[in-house]
Structure 1
Amino acid sequence: MSTESFPMTWLDRAYDAYVRSSHVVSAQQLSTLSPVGQRPTLGKYIGQLRQRRHFIWADARAKALGSQRGTLLGNAWLIVKPMLDALVFFIIFGLLLQTSRGIENFIGYLIIGVTLFPPLQRAITGGGQVIKNGRNMIRGFSFPRAVLPISYTLRSAIDTLPPLAAVLLLVMILPPHAWPTWHWLLVAPIFLLQMMFSLGLTFFAARITTLFPDMRNIWPFLTQFWFYGSGVFFSYERFINHPAMLAFMDVNPGYLILTMYRNCILYSTMPDVRSWVMLLAWSLGTAALGFVFFWAKEVSYGVER
């Protein structure tokens, strides 16, 4: 016998009404919907990042100081490696090539350059890998992708603190000695501006590498040129006599950062106003432009390539 011959009970009618009403969406509900995968506005994007600030900090802390796990000396390599690098450069460039002539406290000069410039290189080489390394997280969760570059930069900042402390200790121990003065307090704002500049570099490198994966192999060569061209183990004035070229080299942010560190730590000299303005412009400008540059391609970072 057909089921249509049985009259509907009140329970059947209630269930049928519920099913029909559950498929009805009001105009107000429709207005709150947004397309899946659409890039949020810049203001909303910043708000989403702010909501995840605790996760960003926790992720950075969890991964910090972990690059040497599994080695015998562990995190001691964070300090030992820059010192070994400084020793190699001192023998090659200081003793054999005599680039130390005319530089006061060349040992301290070299240690600061070899220790505090590589974080800028890693902002580019490591920054180019953050989207690739975070691919599993991108697949599994919905979140603003800028979380990854910001977390990476915070992790890099934490990793740089032990070598920075070692630099301050070594310039006191090794002759000619550099003793602490109030100028050493200026190391903190220089460090913060350096990390802000590094964040901008990471934003740029992350987007460019995502669009052009071959850049992962090119960044190390470009940053090596930058390393050797930033006065890490020599002074420009000794090799360049052309005023225009000197002025051009002087705006190099890598050289500017190292010079400001050296003035404060080694020579007890406060960097001039021009240096502060230039570093502030490089840091804020690179961070702001890099953030917008990265945000503009937000929806492309989850696309499989």
Structure 2
Amino acid sequence: MVHSATAGTGSPAAAPAPPGKSETLAEYAARHQLSVSGARPGLRDYLRQLWGRRHFIVAFANAKTRASYSTARLGQVWQVLTPLLNAAIYYLIFGMMLKTDRGIDNYVAFLVTGIFVFSFTQTAVLAGARSISSQLNLIRALHFPRASLPISFTIVQLQQLLISMVVLFAIVLAKGEPLTLKWLLVVPALLCQFVFNVGLSMIVARFGATVTDINQLIPFLMRTWLYVSGVFYSIATFTEDAPAWVRHALESNPAAVYIELIRDSLIESHVTIPAHTWLLGVGWALLVGIGGFIYFWRAEERYGRG
């Protein structure tokens, strides 16, 4: 399907002459400035369209947030209860039974922070994988940049995290940690994690749009990622006897990086993190955020087809 670049000017235009015998359809379209309907726009135009839909993105995210637990009796209380219940289970198994709390002064604050921060990335990835495949009716009915969907779903997870952070702050304070100016560093840390999550969400959204089985695989991948991210143990303590490259690889893992940045901001007794941890946090955000966006954009015209 093609449309004319001169359509909609308000003045009647004569019907273009059909292509001659020696003229191909492509040459005919170029002569009359016709373009393919639904073709992927250039990256700059795509960004401009996405910015123009910013109100739709926020409104869609707000609607999703309100609807998330609308059928549950406790409603949005589950946004806080779920990570808290996970933290209680991990404390029982890993803190009390397996004694992974060695080398950690304030293990409860350490554990709860890790659970809440990792859950932000986990839920963003799970939602992102379904953001295209679960919205096919919307995609086929309306024309809008498809990146709006994984961005909206990630905003939903951010909104839910911000509610949970109030409880996290209360737990950290209740466990004896002082309120200091360093807590303000939580804001740039969460901003970096949000950009990282958006990029990662777009990557899995493109996979999920064509390979629906990825929704069955992702929970196993996320569980493995959880175990290597230092959520309920200190990476430095548990890699004391391991080769240096193992410790560096685990500490450079993006989930571990964002967890450590927020732990260092909230928990005064936490072991001071290396200065390059902030560089890793910004680097992962830019690499995955920009790379994921471009990767998603390159398949723009294929979402909702078939």
- The equivalences for 1:203-214 within 5 A come to 203-214=202-213
Partner of 2:132: 131
Q: Which runs of 5+ in 1 are unaligned?
A: 1-20
> What is the match of residue 184 of structure 1?
183
In structure 1, the residue matched to 2:54 is 53
Q: 1:97 to 1:40 in 2, by over 3 A?
A: same
Moved over 6 A (4+): 26-30
Q: Which residue of 1 aligns with 2:221?
A: 222
Residues of 1 paired with 2:140 and 2:250: CA distance?
43
Q: Contact 2:79–2:164 at 8 Å: present in 1 too?
A: yes
Q: Match for residue 276 of structure 1?
A: 278
Q: How far apart are 1:219 and its partner, in Å?
A: 0.8
For residues 49-198 of structure 1, the aligned pairs below 5 Å read: 49-173=50-174, 175=175, 177-198=176-197
Q: Distance in 1 between matches of 2:134 and 2:29?
A: 40
Match of 1:17 in 2: none
User: Cα RMSD (Å) of the superposition?
Assistant: 2.0
Unaligned runs of 5+ in 2: 1-11, 18-27
Distance 1:72 1:227 in 2: 29
TM-score, normalized by length of structure 2? 0.87
Deviation at residue 65 of structure 1 after TM alignment: 4.5
User: In the TM superposition, what is the alpha-carbon distance from 1:180 to its structure 2 partner?
Assistant: 0.7
Give the CA deviation at 1:278.
0.8
Residue 215 of structure 1 and its aligned partner are, at CA, apart by: 1.0
Question: Which SS does the other structure have where 1:34 is aligned?
Answer: strand
In structure 2, relative to structure 1, the CA distance for the partners of 1:272 and 1:245 (3 Å cut) is closer
What letter matches 1:292 in structure 2? I
Report the residue type matching 2:298 in the other structure.
A
Structure 2 partner of 1:239: 238
- CA change 1:87–1:207 in 2 (3 A) is same
Cα contact 1:65–1:158 (8 A) shared by 2: no
1:15 aligned residue: none
- Give 1:82 shift: 1.3
Q: Greater CA deviation, 87-96 or 60-69?
A: 60-69
Following the alignment from structure 1 to structure 2, what is the Cα–Cα distance between the partners of residues 43 and 105? 48
Instruction: Pick closer, same or farther for the CA change 1:211–1:28 going to 2, 3 Å.
Output: closer
SS of 2:116's partner is: helix
How many angstroms apart in 2 are the aligned matches of 1:167 and 1:126?
23
What's the counterpart of residue 9 of structure 2? none
* Deviation for aligned residue 1:37: 2.2
Please state how far the C-alpha of 1:127 moved relative to its aligned partner.
Answer: 0.7
**1:95-144 C-alpha deviation (Å, 9 max, x unpaired):** 11111111110000010111110111122221110001211111101111
Aligned to 1:7: none
Instruction: Find the aligned partners of 2:100 and 2:180 in 1 and give their Cα distance.
Output: 28
Task: Identify the residue that residue 294 of structure 1 maps to in structure 2.
Answer: 296
Q: Which residue of 1 aligns with 2:6?
A: none
> 1:131 & 1:284 partners in 2: Cα distance?
23
Structure 1 position 146, deviation (Å): 0.7
The number of residues matched between the two structures is 282
Alignment pair present for 1:24 and 2:15: yes
* Kept in 2: contact 1:264–1:271 (CA 8 A): no
Match of 2:5 in 1: none
CA offset at residue 205 of structure 1? 0.3
Identity %: 33
Deviation at 1:30, TM superposition (A): 6.5
